Amino acid sequence: MDTIPIRSIREIPPEENMLSGTPACAGCGGLLTLRHCLKALGEKIVIVNAASCFTLLSIYPFTPFKNSWLYTAMACAPAGAQGVRDALDILIKKGKLDPEEDLKVVVLTGDGSAYDMGLSSTSGAIYRNLDFYYICYDNEAYGNTGFQQSGATPFASRTATSPPGGARPTGAQLQKKDLFEIWNSHRPPYLATISPAYPVDLVNKFRKAEQYKGPKLFISHSSCPPGWGFDPSHSVSLAKLAVETGIWPLKESVHGKVEHTFVPKKFKPVEDYLKEQERFAHLFKPVRQEDILKSIQETVNEYWRKHKLLS
Amino acid sequence: MGKEMLTGNGAAAWGVRMAEVDYIPAYPITPQTEIIETIAKWISDGAMDASFVTMDSEHSMVTAAGAASATGVRTFTATSSQGLLYGFEMIYTVAGWRVPLVMVNVSRGLSSPITLGPDHNDILAIRDSGFLQIHCETCQEVFDSILMAYKLAEDERVLLPVIVNMDGFYLSFTREPVEIPDVETVRSFLPEYQPEHAFFKPAQPMAQGVAVLGGEFYSYFKYQMHLASKNALEVYKEVCGDFEQKFGRKYRTIEEYMLEDAEYVLVMTNSFSTLGKAAVKRARENGLKAGLLRLRVLRPFPDPDIKNALKGKRAVAVIDQNISIGKGGIIYSEMAGCLYNEINRPLLLSFIGGLGGKNISPEEFELIFDKMIKAEDTGIVEAPHLLYTENEWKEMAGLKEIAGKG
């Protein structure tokens, strides 16, 4: 693939490697991310999937993909990728597979697997410098099981297991794990955050990643209409608001060196993003939880100040 | 190549080497580690042309093994006890992928309490997974069974993974002479693996391990596994015949030791069967028509062979080196299920012994034979008997005293 950056959405490859008619929810931000990722990756890939919403994309005898697929289990998709990659290398070495017929091995998981149960197998795969791609679509909870709190759930989000109540009005009490930094501490050759609302940024990151042998890791903020509570038609605008408010920084890391790929000229207040979603509705009514709103804004400000991108 | 003095673990490693395995994802655990260390050294020295990777857990290890097998290379891995349980989820999963990988389990008692000595609760925990199971008594058998396992697993009438079991310490660390055939003879028995069903190719994209919604569709795939496992009984006979022809050693699904005219029969598995055979010999010297049936293939369960071998016997004592808490011996239940509808069925007694590697003494075997005779006289079969000697009881009392619970 060409590694020269594209400048406009018109330059995104028109080929669709994932066909329509999947059982995913209307307005699924994760699915939109995946569609763009597959355009960037091309047809010669095998997706190794962990238990997540997207496990239900391939239900016997249907699959929306033009490429191969292997479902593993919740905790071990990167280990599955290790087996597939190693086997392909063996077949090539033994002359049983034409190198032209080689496949990119792509792990696809939700945040439950990536942030929680699959952390050990992911750490192992990065440590072993496995030549693979990892796409995590992060909708900030265990979405497929009905939106329970995960390690990716942001502070104050309502989930099915962190319901705001009289005794605990906050919702989720814990801060979202920083998976980018956890992965980055392994010094993979390439690591980036992406968003379905920024497809040019997304495609360029894949184009850049291709030059590196080893782990190429992507975390996509993935708007989730049923979990977050918003109209499916607002999926892209909400994903965009997450970036414009500074809640979801678009960045990349090459061998551990972090650069932001998009910095809003002027950050919108986080409230603009929060108030659009049912999962944060308890912060605004019946009474405005000023302390919590302030604390969320302060956490975002602190992040950008730390990176010297906000004074 | 002739005979070598090898441990059970060494014999397993040689089996993998002679099967010309392509890929070994590994993770260490006592008492299995010697297998993967031996293979790692051969690969490092250039004596073996294979790819070896140390994974981050047995869960990852079984996944990588299954995924590589699904991509089309001959794959091996090994574990034991806690490791097998840690990978348990993937044992079921990769069996459902219908991939012909071969594993070795070196049996070791399960926590808790955490321990090192062998029993078979580990391997029997995966009894229902779809893996075929071959249980070994000797080091030669471990070596031979690995070659047979690949031939069986890769047969397209089977396409199920196989696990070869040996006892930790008693077999894994015991040296015995093992005949290692030359590689050409092995190749004539086990040709290079050519996957017809499991591969990933861009020209022929394939979805493997996909979800199935609806009980009627799910059942279809599970029934298929069961029928494939049943097929394996027939295929096993062919493999067994072929193996005997090439190497001169014969391994039926069950081993019959002094069984033909026997009236009182012990049923055992794995290395402790050697103790049972010695006990049978002593009983014979004392005029008792004793015999032993060793179960070698536990999955598929060789019902026809067992029924045939035990026809007309007076009493059979199953010595389970495992315990299903709240029920008793696992193999006892399997044997009872196998024999229940037989018209001429023997009395079936249940004994639990050898847990965590606990010895089974000659006196305990005598007790077992006595109980068989008594049961035959009275027609009464007692509840599962938990073997424990007086000396063992005293030793335990000593420990309890030190622990302040005397």
On whether residue B180 sits in a domain, the answer given is: yes
- Indicate the residue of B22, B63, B207 with minimum beta-carbon distance to A90: B22
Looking at residue B1, its pLDDT comes to 67
Residue A19 at interface with chain B, using a CB cutoff of 8 Å: no
Give residues with Cβ within 8 angstroms of B227, minimum separation 6. none
Mean pLDDT rounded to a whole number for chain B: 97
Looking at residue A293, its pLDDT comes to 98
As a whole number of angstroms, the distance between CA B404 and CA B165 comes to: 39
- From B228, B247, B266, the end of a domain falls on B247
Search chain B and give the residue with CA nearest A120: B56
- Indicate the residue of B61, B68, B200 with minimum beta-carbon distance to A103: B200
- The one-character DSSP state at B400 is H
On whether residue B402 sits in a domain, the answer given is: no
- Which tens digits make up the pLDDT trace of B80-130? 999 999 999 999 999 999 999 999 999 999 999 999 999 999 999 999 999
Q: Which of A38-42, B185-189, B194-198, B385-389 has the lowest mean pLDDT?
A: B194-198
Q: B24, B197, B210: best mutation site toward chain A, by most A Cβ within 10 Å?
A: B210
Residue A89 at interface with chain B, using a CB cutoff of 8 Å: yes
Q: What is the nearest CA distance from B211 to chain A, expressed in angstroms?
A: 5
DSSP string, A214-236: SEEEEEEE---IIIII--GGGHH
Residues of chain B found within 8 Å of residue A86, distances taken between Cβ atoms: 23, 25, 51, 53, 64, 68
Residue B143 has pLDDT above 60, yes or no: yes
Beta strands in A130-288 (DSSP E): 132-138, 190-194, 215-221, 250-254, 257-262
Closest CA to A205 of A42, A6, A31, A35: A6
Residue B66 at interface with chain A, using a CB cutoff of 8 Å: yes
Q: B20 by DSSP, 3-state: which?
A: coil
Search chain A and give the residue with CA nearest B96: A72
Residue B2 has pLDDT above 90, yes or no: no
As a whole number of angstroms, the distance between CA B16 and CA B33 comes to: 14
Residue A101 at interface with chain B, using a CB cutoff of 8 Å: yes
ipTM above 0.90, yes or no: yes
On whether residue B38 sits in a domain, the answer given is: yes
As a whole number of angstroms, the distance between CA B366 and CA B155 comes to: 44
On whether both B157 and B262 belong to a single domain, the answer is no
- Indicate the residue of B51, B209, B213 with minimum beta-carbon distance to A86: B51
Domain count, chain B: 2
Could you give the domains of chain A? Answer: 16-306 (3.40.50.970)
Whether A285 and A309 have beta carbons less than 8 Å apart is answered as no
As a whole number of angstroms, the distance between CA B344 and CA B332 comes to: 18
On whether both B172 and B273 belong to a single domain, the answer is no
Looking at residue A258, its pLDDT comes to 97
Q: Is the pTM of this model over 0.90?
A: yes
Average pLDDT on B42-57 reads 98
- Which tens digits make up the pLDDT trace of A66-123? 999 999 999 999 999 999 999 999 999 999 999 999 999 999 999 999 999 999 999 9
Residue type, A308: K
Residue A1 has pLDDT above 60, yes or no: no
On whether both B152 and B78 belong to a single domain, the answer is yes
On whether both B171 and B286 belong to a single domain, the answer is no
Residues of chain A found within 8 Å of residue B212, distances taken between Cβ atoms: 59-60
In chain B, % of residues over pLDDT 90? 97
On whether residue B405 sits in a domain, the answer given is: no
Whether B57 and B95 have beta carbons less than 8 Å apart is answered as no
On whether residue B400 sits in a domain, the answer given is: no
On whether residue B403 sits in a domain, the answer given is: no
Tokens of B329: 């011996």
Average pLDDT on B216-242 reads 98
On whether both B30 and B178 belong to a single domain, the answer is yes
On whether residue B404 sits in a domain, the answer given is: no
Residue A48 at interface with chain B, using a CB cutoff of 8 Å: yes
Average pLDDT on A278-290 reads 97
On whether both B178 and B269 belong to a single domain, the answer is no
As a whole number of angstroms, the distance between CA B76 and CA B27 comes to: 12
- From B247, B267, B298, the end of a domain falls on B247
On whether residue B55 sits in a domain, the answer given is: yes
Model confidence band, residue A2 (pLDDT cutoffs 50, 70, 90) = low
- From B192, B214, B247, the end of a domain falls on B247
Residue A53 at interface with chain B, using a CB cutoff of 8 Å: no
Residue type, A153: T
- The one-character DSSP state at A117 is I
Residue A248 has pLDDT above 60, yes or no: yes
Whether A76 and A38 have beta carbons less than 8 Å apart is answered as no
As a whole number of angstroms, the distance between CA B187 and CA A35 comes to: 47
Q: What is the nearest CA distance from B69 to chain A, expressed in angstroms?
A: 8
Average pLDDT on A144-159 reads 98
Residue B53 at interface with chain A, using a CB cutoff of 8 Å: yes
Q: B384 by DSSP, 3-state: which?
A: coil
On whether both B136 and B223 belong to a single domain, the answer is yes
- The one-character DSSP state at A247 is S
Residue B343 at interface with chain A, using a CB cutoff of 8 Å: no
Average pLDDT on A286-290 reads 97
The CATH number covering residue B292 comes to 3.40.50.920
On whether both B185 and B308 belong to a single domain, the answer is no
Whether B197 and B156 have beta carbons less than 8 Å apart is answered as yes
Residue B58 has pLDDT above 60, yes or no: yes
Residues of chain B found within 8 Å of residue A73, distances taken between Cβ atoms: 63, 89-90, 93
On whether both B118 and B203 belong to a single domain, the answer is yes
Residues of chain A found within 8 Å of residue B53, distances taken between Cβ atoms: 82, 86, 128
Q: A90 by DSSP, 3-state: which?
A: helix
Sort strands B297-299 and B264-268 into parallel, antiparallel or unpaired.
Answer: unpaired
The CATH number covering residue B120 comes to 3.40.50.970
On whether both B322 and B181 belong to a single domain, the answer is no
- Provide the residue range defining the domain that includes B364: 254-393
Looking at residue B406, its pLDDT comes to 79
Average pLDDT on A279-307 reads 97
- Which tens digits make up the pLDDT trace of A14-56? 999 999 999 999 999 999 999 999 999 999 999 999 999 999 9
Q: A86, A93, A186: best mutation site toward chain B, by most B Cβ within 10 Å?
A: A86
On whether both B319 and B385 belong to a single domain, the answer is yes
Neighbour-count burial of B293, counting CB atoms closer than 10 A to its CB (0-12 exposed, 13-18 middle, 19+ buried): buried
On whether both B55 and B187 belong to a single domain, the answer is yes
Average pLDDT on A245-256 reads 98
